[in-house]
Structure 1
């Protein structure tokens, strides 16, 4: 009877692990959608187009009409490029944080499995 109890307990443990895996998979899927999904890519493209158009407009106005004093449009363009660089650094930081989180989760899982394997090896060695 104890052998059947052990099997039932092991089956319950495996089902719990499977449910936890499915929950974690769904959570990761939703996080991937938030960080690197289509919405983010679309927003990033709009921001890139905005910066490019603004710089091109200032350049065109400077060359054709001398709308602003000579160095003001250059300074505004440099400011916009600097803001874009800060935006890119921020995006890269978010990606690196997410990548670290994924790798940390994987390491935790591997360590857990390693502990289980050692436990199973000890049990097999006793029999």
Structure 2
């Protein structure tokens, strides 16, 4: 009965850890955080301001306006790639940790099965 209780406790710990990991990965890969939203709004605002001052008001030559807008678009793409790589790295780290834990549990289960077979014999 003692082994059964230990197994139930380990199962509960595993479920808690699984839920915690699920929440962390969901937060990371799910929605935009405040910093990303601010950077997006800043870049979009700068592009809109450039296009307004260059295209409508004619204060900046249109070529310079377009080059600057393209540069800001490229900065946005670089920011997006950076955020994606950071999220992917964290998810890889979490999945590696889960794999290690599963391997540890597999070894424990094999030991338990072996001891049960010895008890039967």
Please say whether Structure 1 and Structure 2 have the same fold, judged by a TM-score greater than 0.5.
yes
Higher relative contact order (CA 8 A, sep 6+): 2
**Residue matched to 1:61:** 53
**Residue matched to 1:44:** 36
Q: CA deviation at 1:37?
A: 9.6
Q: CA deviation at 1:80?
A: 0.4
**Residue matched to 1:122:** 114
TM-score normalised per structure 1:
0.70
Give the number of aligned pairs: 119
Unaligned runs of 5+ in 1: 1-6
Unaligned runs of 5+ in 2: none
Q: CA deviation at 1:38?
A: 8.8
Runs of 4+ residues over 4 Å off in structure 1: 34-39
CA RMSD of aligned residues (A): 2.9
Q: 1:51 to 1:35 in 2, by over 3 A?
A: same
